[in-house]
Amino acid sequence: MATLYLVSTPIGNLNDVSSRATETLRSVGRILAEDTRRTRILTDRVGADAPLVSLHAHNERERIEAILGWLEAGEDLALVTDAGTPLVSDPGGRVVSAVVDAGHDVVPVPGPSAVLAALVASGLPANRFTFLGFVARKGREREDDLDRMASSRESTVVFESPHRLIRLLEDLAQVCGPDRQVVVARELTKLHEEFRRGTLSEVAGYYLERTPKGEVTVVVGPKDVDAEEVDVEAQAGELAREMLDAGMRPSMVAKEVAARLDLARNDAYRIVHDLEGS
């Protein structure tokens, strides 16, 4: 059986390409690339001469048949994104699912990730975190994303375009409070890499005076837990444990706990999930 390799590529500094990624790109029969022009810069650098095949959001579905055909013919393939780890807010998910369903091997070649680079250098808690991709631009989906970040007890990482960054920071200040900690990581691993740390109001004010440019990753700090919330959580845990011990399904327990104690559904589900794992 042939193999589809998911190859992580540099997010800015080409020196971050790994020896394993180099070896893989040199050995495969074809390279599936989000933007063949950008990927050609990397393949030229590492000496990979495999044909580049475009694979982006608008043609992914129609490429699947050809990709499965190449694999069935015994041809190893590599899938790369423009920068970073494939499938993380980038195309490729449909292809990987189809390849797995067809019985072929899918092998990750780990490497650079803007999500992890921003998180570990942010100075915010990194032992547990949530990644939400790009924040929805409008409507209920945006409200849900903002509310999720506001109520999160762990750091949250999101991507945002530079021209929407100030709006995001201002909207977050409304739902999280202006004093919530945030870090904006800009141009990671590049010449003008920048980490701007502070409260939402401070960082928003900074970028109101300096137009943000380049690739942006935002890390939002977790919600502070006050004494009253701790007490409610304790009550919720006791109630959930009683219901679970009585044989109720976890999903029903979470709904009941949320209704009785006026908890956010996400918090109720988290409490039940933690109890199941304990």
For 106-158, what is each residue's pLDDT tens digit? 999 999 999 999 999 999 999 999 999 999 999 999 999 999 999 999 999 99
**Does 57 share its domain with 101?**
yes
Domain boundary among 60, 93, 112: 112
Which of 195-234 are b and which e, b meaning 16 or more Cβ less than 10 Å from the residue's Cβ? ebbebbbbbbeebeeeebeebbbbbbbbbeeeeeeeeebe
The CATH number assigned to the domain holding 69 equals 3.40.1010.10
pLDDT at 228 over 60: no
**Does 126 share its domain with 202?**
yes
pLDDT at 230 over 60: no
Q: What CA–CA distances, in Å, run from 189 to 42, 117, 249?
A: 16, 9, 47
**Does 30 share its domain with 87?**
yes
**Does 214 share its domain with 130?**
yes
Beta strands in 161-215 (DSSP E): 181-186, 194-199
pTM: 0.79
**Does 195 share its domain with 247?**
no
Confidence of residue 36 (pLDDT cuts 50, 70, 90): very high
**Does 145 share its domain with 195?**
yes
Please tell me the predicted confidence (pLDDT) of residue 265: 83
**Does 35 share its domain with 91?**
yes
Domain boundary among 58, 84, 112: 112
pLDDT at 226 over 70: no
Query: What is the Cα–Cα distance from 148 to 142, expressed in whole angstroms?
Result: 10
Give me the number of domains the chain comprises: 3
Q: Three-state SS for 88?
A: coil
Please tell me the predicted confidence (pLDDT) of residue 114: 96
pLDDT at 95 over 50: yes
**Does 10 share its domain with 43?**
yes
Please tell me the predicted confidence (pLDDT) of residue 276: 81
pLDDT at 227 over 50: no
**Does 138 share its domain with 90?**
no
Give the rounded percent of residues in the chain with a pLDDT score beyond 70. Answer: 97
Strands 77-80, 129-134: pairing kind: unpaired
**Does 20 share its domain with 107?**
yes
Phi-psi region of 82 (alpha: psi -120 to 50; beta: other; left: phi over 0): alpha
Alpha helix ranges (H) inside 73-164: 93-101, 114-122, 139-151
**Does 195 share its domain with 252?**
no
| pLDDT one-digit tens code per residue, 171-221 | 999 999 999 999 999 999 999 999 999 999 999 999 999 999 999 999 999
**Helix/strand/coil (H/E/C) assignment for every residue in 93-104:** HHHHHHHHHCCC
CB 115 within 8 A of CB 157: yes
CB 42 within 8 A of CB 10: yes
Mean per-residue pLDDT for 261-270?
A: 84
Mean per-residue pLDDT for 235-252?
A: 90
Tell me the residue range of the domain where 266 lies: 227-277
Query: What is the Cα–Cα distance from 86 to 95, expressed in whole angstroms?
Result: 11
**Does 45 share its domain with 106?**
yes
Check residue 213 and report its DSSP letter. Answer: -
